[in-house]
Amino acid sequence: MNSRHTVVESPLGQITLVAIDDALMGLYFPHHWYMPSMDTFGNRVEALDDAVFSAAAIQLDEYFRGDRTSFDLKTATRGDLFQEQVWALLKDIPSGETTTYGELAEELGNKSLAQQVGKAVGQNPLCIIVPCHRVVGKGGKLTGYAGGIPRKQFLLELEESEDARAARLLVDAGKLF
């Protein structure tokens, strides 16, 4: 098993990418809520010298430039059955759209699972790639993001449509007066 990691720069600061063999296993920000011990990340390598990291770095750069809305990377996660079900649902949330923890719980068949869904979303090891930032609280409230609320807001604003951006700017401008 070839476990390794790299660090890439982004508009959100440094991002640590973790891979095992030919699959991306983790994407973490500094001070990430649920970051595994660095001891489990393997040796640090240069992103450009590694096919998995090079592809991830290129696609992340395209995403941050607004040229990509989803990722085409081989990934692998090691969650329990419930976490894997939640993370699979996250992959289906289209760019520029959001859903709530309660709506995800309903998709799993039980609205009362919203709190457990929130915990699973927070433990997503591939944030951005598996778009957990697209999950918001009831009424659209920005709640919990393992990388921090400012990063979540940045990602949501990056993905919003021109119409949504214009409407948000009008609302924000109205708050000034």
Just list the catalytic residues: 132
Q: Determine the Cα–Cα distance for residues 152 and 120; give it in Å rounded to an integer.
A: 16
- What is the three-class DSSP state of 129? coil
Q: Which of 78, 61, 85 has the alpha carbon at shortest distance from 158?
A: 61
Other Cβ atoms closer than 10 A to 149: 12
Tokens of 114: 């919203």
Contacts of 12 (CB under 8 A, 6+ apart): 29, 147, 151, 154, 155
Judge residue 44's burial from the number of C-beta atoms within 10 Å of its C-beta, 0-12 exposed, 13-18 middle, 19 or more buried: exposed
